[in-house]
Structure 1
Amino acid sequence: MEFFNNHKKLFTAAFLLFFTLTLFVAIIPALNNEKINRSLPGAVPLSEDAVKGKAVFIANGCVACHTQQVRNVAMDKAFGSRPSIAADYAGIKRTDTWRNTATLMGTERTGPDLTNIGSRQPSVDWHLAHLYNPRIVVSASIMPAYPWLFNVIDNAPKNAVVVNIPAAFAEGTGKVVATKEAMWLVAYLQSLKQVELPDGRPMPAFLYKKEPKAAAAGRAVDEPDGAALYATNCQSCHQENGEGLKGAFPPLKGSKVVLNNDPELMVNIIMNGYTGRMQEGYGAMPPVGTNNNLDAEEIAAIMNHEKTSWGNDAKKVTPDDVKKLMALVKDQAVAKGK
């Protein structure tokens, strides 16, 4: 009983017990995990600008609405080609001895997941317009605008990054110029790309597949909804009316590519992306079909929506046609070393 009556011995023993438990249960395993964890072979360290952009991302509270983790459920398939694994976060190190850094995995999906946003949306123009006012590219967006990341001036310097803002969203007659903080943030967003697993490693399958929805009027039960797929995959750039954004994204309304009865080029653009109009001031189009794992039926539905909307009246394609062309353009891309 003397031990329990001696507060010095009692508290010393309790301290040593909890310190030992903490050391072996928490500290040593954590240090060991940090030592053995390795990033995937294809992982690219953040550039200096991207590191600064991450700080801007944190300062503006973006993690409150956006996650950076693809869960192992079918509904997250749109955010990446596979579920996230521990190695995806192995490159996130402490800022220094005393300061940790945010992993930014997040828990709230008020906005879309950003795990693969650098591949899904590589366009600088899109990101800048979206940050200035999200309603420019997504009319129903509830994301707040970040105008303090931009300056509105009458005469932009030669090396300034001028943002293409539609007249309906312009403030006065000045030009909207991105600040260095805006460019850092875009650099960080562009760096967010899901790394492919090493060759030979099986791709984790998504669980809990969605149940098929009832078909809309005039559509077969198993036929994808082209309008919905267009809204999910294409509308943020080319807009609901198919007219695009002047100086940033080309229109699909009246497009020669869309109206062409030979669908090969259109399938090639969807699967491999397109940079052929950058000299006109338009941004590079990402390979939407590849990035979002769209199948032939879904791509055919998108193409037919574009071919028959906004006054367009072009010959429709079938999933079988698209499937053959997907194989063809994939072989062409491999031959070109893409």
Structure 2
Amino acid sequence: MDFFNNHKQLFGAAFLLFAILTLFVCIIPALNNEENNAPLPNAIPLDEQAILGKAVFVANGCVACHTQQVRNVDMDKVWGDRPSIAADYADMHRTDTWRNTATVMGTERTGPDLTNIGQRQSSADWHLVHLYNPRIVVKESIMPAYPFLFEVKNKLEEGDVVVNVPEEFRKGRKGKIIARAEALELVAYLKALKQTKLPDGTPEPDFLYKKSGDLAAGALKKGEPKELDGARLYTNNCQSCHQGNGEGLKGAFPALKGSKIVLDDNPEIMVDIIMNGYNGRASEGYGAMPAVGINNKLKPEEVAAIMNHEKTSWGNSAKKVTPEEVKKLMDLVKTKATK
């Protein structure tokens, strides 16, 4: 019983047991996991600005409301093309000597998952307006505003990025609203969040518990009629910028209501913009529109449904298009874009 009365032996034995358990339970399995997991071949590492943006993301508690993991259940299919796998997180490194890699997978979805947000929403202008005040682009949003990531200037300097905020959300602020470095870094990080494509020939994990009946995303199913729910597709792909009423946001995103391009009986330009994006109105203060059709892998039937919704809503009255017309134009504008 002397062992239990000798505090040095007792402490030494406890420390040795703890060290052995740490070695076999933590260290060896972790080293084994590092050897068995590697980033996907097509994975693009975060650049310097995006790494700084990740620190801003963590510092502002974004991880408390947003996950970065697509579970293998069908309800998560709206967030990515496939369920997340270990290789998606294999390229995470220590923040610095004293801090381990921040865990950004999250635990709940008060806000939408961000795994593939760089693909779903690649517009820097949208992200900046959304950060300044989420209610500008999503009226029902409960996300807090981050106006401290911006400043007001009366005189612009070289390199300043102006954020076009509608008057009703400026709260009396005069001058130009400029994104601080932290806002630009955070947007760079969000735009870098894109789900990496698996190597050719690698089977993709299945989504489980598939829903029966109508699809939430309005995607085409075998045996369905070719005309889809254009309103739903518009909501999923276009509404965040152009708004539900089609009026856009003054100085930020152009209106589709009464738009000459939407009302044009020749749909080629409209298909080109949807598929390849557009930056022809930068001089008016409007940001560049991303290539929504390509980014979201829209089919001709889906593009036609979106176009017909826009052509016949909000007082618009224009000639509808058919999926066959759109398919030909998609091939045409794709050819033009590669030249």
What TM-score bracket applies, with the shorter chain setting the length? 0.7 to 0.9
What is the alpha-carbon distance in structure 2 between the residues aligned to residue 288 and residue 138 of structure 1? 18
- Write the deviation string for residues 248-274 of structure 1: whole angstroms up to 9, x where unpaired: 322212223322333343333323333
Q: Match of 2:207, as an amino acid?
A: F
Q: 1:226 aligns with which of 217, 225, 230?
A: 230
The question of 1:153 aligning with 2:157 is answered no
Larger CA deviation: 305-314 vs 190-199:
190-199
- Write the deviation string for residues 223-276 of structure 1: whole angstroms up to 9, x where unpaired: 643222212221111112212223332221222332233334333332333334
Q: Match of 1:34, as an amino acid?
A: E
**8 Å contact 1:77–1:292 — kept in the other structure?**
no
What is the alpha-carbon distance in structure 1 between the residues aligned to residue 68 and residue 229 of structure 2? 28
What is the alpha-carbon distance in structure 2 between the residues aligned to residue 318 and residue 256 of structure 1? 19
What is the alpha-carbon distance in structure 2 between the residues aligned to residue 259 and residue 184 of structure 1? 38
CA positional deviation for 1:66:
0.9
Q: 2:314 aligns with which of 306, 310, 314?
A: 310
What is the alpha-carbon distance in structure 2 between the residues aligned to residue 307 and residue 203 of structure 1? 37
What is the alpha-carbon distance in structure 1 between the residues aligned to residue 208 and residue 270 of structure 2? 32
The structure-2 alpha-carbon separation of the partners of 1:43 and 1:5, relative to structure 1 and needing over 3 Å to count, comes to: same
**8 Å contact 2:95–2:102 — kept in the other structure?**
no
The structure-2 alpha-carbon separation of the partners of 1:154 and 1:275, relative to structure 1 and needing over 3 Å to count, comes to: closer
When the two structures are superposed, what TM-score results if normalisation uses the length of structure 1? 0.85
- Aligned pair count? 330
What is the alpha-carbon distance in structure 2 between the residues aligned to residue 73 and residue 296 of structure 1? 27
CA positional deviation for 1:139:
1.5
- Write the deviation string for residues 102-143 of structure 1: whole angstroms up to 9, x where unpaired: 130112111111112222222221111111111111121111
**8 Å contact 1:122–1:284 — kept in the other structure?**
no
What is the alpha-carbon distance in structure 2 between the residues aligned to residue 41 and residue 213 of structure 1? 36
What is the alpha-carbon distance in structure 1 between the residues aligned to residue 72 and residue 333 of structure 2? 30
**8 Å contact 2:230–2:302 — kept in the other structure?**
yes
**8 Å contact 2:129–2:136 — kept in the other structure?**
yes
What is the alpha-carbon distance in structure 2 between the residues aligned to residue 278 and residue 91 of structure 1? 36
Look up the SS of the partner of 2:177 in the other structure.
Answer: strand
**Structure 2 residue aligned with 1:50:** 50
Look up the SS of the partner of 2:28 in the other structure.
Answer: helix
**Structure 2 residue aligned with 1:218:** none
**8 Å contact 2:262–2:270 — kept in the other structure?**
yes
The question of 1:242 aligning with 2:246 is answered yes
What is the alpha-carbon distance in structure 2 between the residues aligned to residue 320 and residue 31 of structure 1? 55
Q: CA RMSD in A?
A: 2.9
**Structure 1 residue aligned with 2:131:** 131
Look up the SS of the partner of 1:79 in the other structure.
Answer: coil
CA positional deviation for 1:324:
4.8
CA positional deviation for 1:12:
5.5
**Structure 2 residue aligned with 1:79:** 79
**Structure 1 residue aligned with 2:219:** none
What is the alpha-carbon distance in structure 1 between the residues aligned to residue 15 and residue 193 of structure 2? 44
Percentage of pairs with the same residue: 72
Larger CA deviation: 265-274 vs 227-236:
265-274
What is the alpha-carbon distance in structure 2 between the residues aligned to residue 199 and residue 268 of structure 1? 29
The structure-2 alpha-carbon separation of the partners of 1:80 and 1:268, relative to structure 1 and needing over 3 Å to count, comes to: farther
Q: 1:260 aligns with which of 258, 264, 277?
A: 264
Give 5+ residue unaligned stretches, structure 2.
217-223
**Structure 1 residue aligned with 2:221:** none
- Which segments of structure 1 move beyond 6 Å, counting only runs of 4 or more? 1-11
**Structure 2 residue aligned with 1:88:** 88
When the two structures are superposed, what TM-score results if normalisation uses the length of structure 2? 0.85
What is the alpha-carbon distance in structure 2 between the residues aligned to residue 214 and residue 32 of structure 1? 41
The structure-2 alpha-carbon separation of the partners of 1:268 and 1:71, relative to structure 1 and needing over 3 Å to count, comes to: farther
The question of 1:108 aligning with 2:108 is answered yes
